[in-house]
Chains A and B, each alone.
Chain A
Amino acid sequence: MNETIDLIRSKDPTFQQEVEAESGQNISNCYQCGNCTAGCPAALDYDMMPNQVMRGIQLGLRDKVLSSQAIYMCLSCSTCSLRCPNSIDIAGVMETLRHMARRTNKVGVKRVEKFWLSFLDTVRTFGRSYEIGTMALYMLRSLRFWTDVDLAPQALMKQKLGLKPHVIPSKESVEAVGRIFKRYQERAKREGVRP
């Protein structure tokens, strides 16, 4: 985030209000102490530091913040929220930003979303997550076919990964979970957002 930002042209005064309404947090309370960034276990992989994300919201930099990689790399460990001297739930804000970004089709780190969707596909199908299925779908989506192949021999030998999916025993229950996803996807379509 070292390039010059045209604050007058890019400022969106409603952005902070929207983030505050959806996250229930008072973003104005952030005075840039940097505790969130200092404690963040993923910050080395962020393009914007957590405190910069907070400042970006205050400055109304909607595009900059919602297009960031940071909101997709956040691990939701909540260390930032715990250490914020102003009790801002920063991890909750990051989650809100992720939701807002996805609703407008902004996906800062595509392979992270591909992993999430692959995982959820297995839950939708079997009612329970299925490790090998998640990996296979992720490799297909991301074309990263070498992902964790180094772990496969040991994982299989130790039967860490069941070859068969873990399906809910009752078929009716599998279908009930499928219906939760179906309704969720239908509603997302109705509301015009990315499911």
Chain B
Amino acid sequence: MKIAYYPGCSAKGSSLDYELSTQAVLKALGIQTVEIADWNCCGSTPAHAVATDLSTALCTRNLALAARQGADLIATSCPSCLSNHKHAHVRMQDPDFRTRVNELLDEPAPEQMPEMTSVMQLIAQQCDSDQIKSRVTKSLTGIKIAPYYGCLMSRPAELMQFGDPENPTLMESLLASCGADDILDFPLKTECCGASAGIPHRPLTARNSGRILQLAVNMGADCIAVCCPLCQMNLDLRQKQAGKAEGTKFNIPVLYFTQLMGIAFGCDADSLGLNKLCVSADRITDKIHALSTAAKEAAQGGKA
């Protein structure tokens, strides 16, 4: 199966760390993807908020490029890119709408275009739990993780096909395969962080993100694991703003799930972009290192 890869714009800027860690994890697991040459922005929220045909035309250009590249499937890390491309795929089945979108494109969209999926689902589809376990050199055992998906990865349910739309568990499965044994049943895992309202209407994003951070802290999480570039930015870069909204100061690391997997696979910090995190993940990496070293010593001691 030929798998194309769509990084999305954040991957080149605000979520370079997600991109780096995604590539590191895919490489470690031997999953090969080819980036779609000359891909463009999906238009994100602004395009679909303004006009459905504009958003669909932008996405269709990418789907058509992947089709011409001979791809059977496209993977992307970003839930917003994923949602837009999936919507485009479905909407193009309506002949009248398709005509309107084709009018915006240089050439009409091909009849057959590959589906898009999330990198998280791709990993789960390509590797079973044992294959992931076999890559682990530093187990995530003993790290208390709050898994947070945000709103787009699992909704709308029939479009995203991501399990229970209010209680997805795929991230937990992947992290558990990396040894994580203390993953919280996090009630706000699919509550919206405030998304792009952070720029035009900060109080909303600060309040929503503040609630999520506060609950993770109250539940004693060592870190929050995320899968969306915008959620990560709101919870990490905007953590001080969220703290002000809650009348407190937060200091909790917010890592991409791929960064946690990469740490477990023994990838070095630079290759996972850990230095890009605003709230340092040092205490997480130190704890993982200390616990896994102790476990190894105990195992060796047991053998001797």
Number of interchain pairs (Cβ within 8 Å): 171
- SS of A interface (majority): helix
Are B194 and A147 interface neighbours, CB within 8 A? Answer: no
Are A116 and B46 interface neighbours, CB within 8 A? Answer: yes
- A89 neighbours in B (Cβ, 8 Å): 156
* Distance between Cα atoms of A134 and B43 in the complex (Å): 13
Q: Does A166 belong to the interface (CB within 8 Å)?
A: yes
Q: Does A59 belong to the interface (CB within 8 Å)?
A: no
- Given A89-B156, A120-B50, A169-B38, is A161 in contact with B14 using a C-beta cutoff of 8 Å? yes
Q: Which of B33-59 contact A (CB under 8 A)?
A: 37-41, 43-54, 57-58
- Given A120-B50, A180-B105, A184-B51, is A168 in contact with B196 using a C-beta cutoff of 8 Å? no
**Tally of B interface residues using CB under 8 Å:** 60
Q: Does B9 belong to the interface (CB within 8 Å)?
A: yes
Chain B's closest residue to A158 (CB) is: B276
Which size class do A's interface residues fall under?
35 or more
- B198 neighbours in A (Cβ, 8 Å): 148
Chain B's closest residue to A168 (CB) is: B38
Are B192 and A77 interface neighbours, CB within 8 A? Answer: yes
Q: Does B200 belong to the interface (CB within 8 Å)?
A: yes
User: Which of the candidate stretches B117-125, B177-185, B237-245 sits at the interface with the other chain?
Assistant: B237-245
Are B199 and A115 interface neighbours, CB within 8 A? Answer: yes
Of the candidates A78, A111, A131, A184, the one whose C-beta lies within 8 Å of that of B200 is A111
Are A158 and B278 interface neighbours, CB within 8 A? Answer: yes
- A33 neighbours in B (Cβ, 8 Å): none
- B105 neighbours in A (Cβ, 8 Å): 180
* Distance between Cα atoms of A168 and B207 in the complex (Å): 36
- Given A82-B157, A120-B43, A129-B44, is A166 in contact with B151 using a C-beta cutoff of 8 Å? no
Q: Does A30 belong to the interface (CB within 8 Å)?
A: no
- A95 neighbours in B (Cβ, 8 Å): 48-49, 52
- What is the CB-to-nearest-CB distance from A89 to chain B, in angstroms, rounded to a whole number? 7
Are A45 and B204 interface neighbours, CB within 8 A? Answer: yes
Q: Which of A144-195 contact B (CB under 8 A)?
A: 147-148, 150-151, 154-155, 158-162, 166, 168-170, 173, 176-177, 179-181, 183-184, 187-188, 195
Query: Which B residues are closer than 8 A to A by beta carbons?
Result: 9, 12-14, 16, 37-41, 43-54, 57-58, 61, 103-106, 151-152, 155-157, 165-166, 191-192, 194-204, 207-208, 233, 237-238, 240-241, 275-278
